[in-house]
Amino acid sequence: MIIVMETNANREQVNGIVARVKALGLGAHLSEGEERTIIGIVGSPLPPTLDDELEVQSGVERVVRITKKYKLTGWDFHPQKTRIAVRDVVIGGDAVTIIAGPCSVESEEQTVDTARAIKAAGATILRGGAYKPRTSPYEFRGLGRRGLEILATAREETGMPIITEVMTPADIEQVGEFTDIFQIGARNAQNYLLLEEVGKAGKPVMLKRGLSMLMEEWLLAAEYVMAQGNPDVILCERGIRTFESSTRNTLDVSSVPVIQGMSHLPVFIDPSHAAGKRALVPALALAGIAAGADGLMIEVHPSPDHALSDGAQSLTFDQFDELTPRIAAVAEAVGRSFAPMPQMAAV
């Protein structure tokens, strides 16, 4: 950490900073220039909020933190890209992974039909919500345990692993009985106790980016999961909130290369929640793959106009069928492969 003093800072102010730093068991190295003094702090651990504290001291112009706040999620800690095996599917490898399925599990027929359709089109993981976070308390909130059972049935029928959201620590055990991957939604992305509890559950976790989360905050949220000993975290960009209102959220496609520069964790794109309108989903899905995403999460429904949630952004089976070959083509164009379910022929 570097403390840049103001040009008119006096000796007493400099000494005050040095005394505070030493009181913390850290070393202070002074560099006195013609114009101003700069203090380098050495030693560890640095208190996480030391920069905030020092920045408001009198005589201080600016504090610069040099070390990163995140550790386990960074390349320094884990210099190989993380690959996550979920049953027969490998996430984070050469092949891009397509997760698809309905926003909400509504019935066995709806879910199994969708599972079969998306598998035939090339998806390898089935998504579906049994517990749904809703902006209004008066909206449909999912089938709960029955929804989880239906997802398990769809897995048996198709061989595809499943992913579903968990919203509160008390549900982790039950959801964990069924799911292959836990999903943490955008609104819970900084629900730290949920992150820790799900980190203990011993299964991969997909962490959606919060609506107004900075990159470092996103990694620190993943850090909560990893700090419990769970290395298998997948990050999923689903759009951020900006002034632009023509889309439900603004897909920050740059997050893909930015995160890949900071972290070894796989990054996915969710074009459905970003767009909010199905007509925009294909363009965003292709953009995500072109930007280097490790996979996509796409909402598909047998009859979107009758969906109990997010119908407006769900693709029909036909639209999804049309999209996957285009995803495969763009994946190849950027040096990735696209592999449907390995045991597909057998099922």
- Name residues contacting its own copies, limited to 204-243 (CB under 8 A): 211-212, 214-215, 217, 220, 223-224, 227, 240-243
| Cβ-based burial of 81 (10 A; exposed 0-12, middle 13-18, buried ≥19) | middle
Stretch that binds its own copies, among 80-88, 114-122, 143-151, 182-190 (CB under 8 A): 182-190
CB of 159 vs its own copies, minimal distance in Å:
29
Q: Which residue among 55, 88, 109, 173 contacts its own copies (CB under 8 A)?
A: 55
Host H or E run for residue 147: helix 145-158
Which 84-113 residues touch its own copies, going by CB under 8 A?
none
| Of residues 11 and 245, the one with the C-beta less far from its own copies | 245
Q: How far is the CB of 56 from its own copies (least distance, A)?
A: 5
- Bond prior to 45 in cis (omega within 30° of 0): yes
Count of residues that bind its own copies according to CB under 8 A:
103
Give the one residue of 20, 87, 116, 145 binding its own copies; rule: CB under 8 A.
Answer: 20
Q: Residue 60's closest CA among 68, 71, 52?
A: 52
SS3 164: strand
Q: How many CB atoms lie within 10 A of CB 262?
A: 17
Q: Could you say which of 128, 129, 288, 302 contacts its own copies (CB under 8 A)?
A: 288
Task: Tokens 């579903």: give the residue.
Answer: 164
Instruction: Identify the three-state secondary structure at position 26.
Output: coil
Closest approach of Cβ 223 to its own copies, in Å?
5
Nearest-approach distance from CB 84 to its own copies, in angstroms = 21
Piece of 56-64, 116-124, 144-152, 173-181 that binds its own copies (CB under 8 A): 56-64
Tell the residue number behind the tokens 């397509």, with chain if given.
Answer: 98
Q: What burial letters (b/e) apply to 320-337, b meaning 16+ CB within 10 Å? A: bbebbeebbebbeeeebe
Task: Report the distance separating Cα 124 and Cα 276, nearest Å.
Answer: 23
Does position 26 bind its own copies by CB under 8 A?
Answer: no
Q: Hey, which residues between 248 and 287 contact its own copies (CB under 8 A)? A: 250-258, 261, 274-280, 283-284, 286-287
